[in-house]
Structure 1
Amino acid sequence: MPAKKARFIPLSDRKAYHRFEDVIGCKWSTLVVAAVSQGVTRPGELERYIPGISTKVLNERLRKLVDFQVLSRTEQSGLPARVDYALTDNGTKLAALLEQVRLLNAQHPDPAS
């Protein structure tokens, strides 16, 4: 006998989807993940690599991506202090999914363009 189909998405799932959307649904987050996956690891490099992103938004996105365990943050001692970001295992999986979405989008160009 097939399992009974749920009539709605449970609240716990909705909260998880909303949290995921808050972190990943932002255009800047996807660009940061893509950039880090291409080897751009330092905040200043990321700011130059992603046209239009402000320092404030970049720092907010980096913080959220670290909190969501998509990126790891490593501080290196010395003068000046150095901070590097890297993809976690989950971040690597997410970057692969984002690349698949990018490729799918490239196969179906925007007709308005």
Structure 2
Amino acid sequence: MPAKKPKFIPLKDRTAYHRFEDVIGCKWSSSIVAAVAQDVKRPGELERFIPGISTKVLNERLRRLVDFGVLIRTEHPALPARVDYDLTEVGIKLSALLEEVRQLNLDHPAASA
């Protein structure tokens, strides 16, 4: 007998979806993850690499991605101070998923219209 179809999405699942959407659903977060995956690691480089992103939004999104466990922030003791961002294991998986979505969009242009 087939499994019984649920009548609703359980609260635990809804919470997970909303948390994920809050962090990754932002166009800037996706762009930041894609840029870091391409070895763009410093905040100034990210700001130049992602057209249209403001310093304020970049810093807020970087904090959210670190808090979510997608990026790791490394401070280097130097003058001037230097900060780099790298993908975590979760970030590497997410980057691969984002690349699949990007490729799907390229392969099926009618879907993006």
Q: Same fold (TM over 0.5)?
A: yes
**Normalised TM-score (structure 1):** 0.94
Going from structure 1 to structure 2, the CA distance change for 1:112 and 1:83 (only over 3 Å counts) comes to closer
Task: Tell me what 2:3 maps to.
Answer: 3
Task: Tell me what 1:37 maps to.
Answer: 37
Count of matched residue positions in the alignment of Structure 1 and Structure 2: 113
Residues 74-105 of structure 1: CA distance to partner in whole angstroms, max 9, x if unpaired? 00111111100000001000000100111110
Task: Tell me what 2:97 maps to.
Answer: 97
Going from structure 1 to structure 2, the CA distance change for 1:36 and 1:111 (only over 3 Å counts) comes to closer
Mapping for residues 15-26 of structure 1, pairs under 5 Å:
15-26=15-26
* Structure with higher helix content: 2
- For structure 2, the 5+ residue unaligned runs are none
Q: How far 1:108 sits from its partner (Å)? A: 1.7
Deviates more, 1:30-39 or 1:7-16: 7-16
- For structure 1, the 5+ residue unaligned runs are none
Q: How far 1:12 sits from its partner (Å)? A: 1.5
Q: How far 1:16 sits from its partner (Å)? A: 1.0
Q: How far 1:112 sits from its partner (Å)? A: 8.6
Task: Tell me what 2:13 maps to.
Answer: 13
Mapping for residues 64-75 of structure 1, pairs under 5 Å:
64-75=64-75
Q: How far 1:2 sits from its partner (Å)? A: 3.2
RMSD of Structure 2 on Structure 1 (CA): 1.6
| SS in structure 1 at match of 2:78 | coil
Name the % identity.
Answer: 73
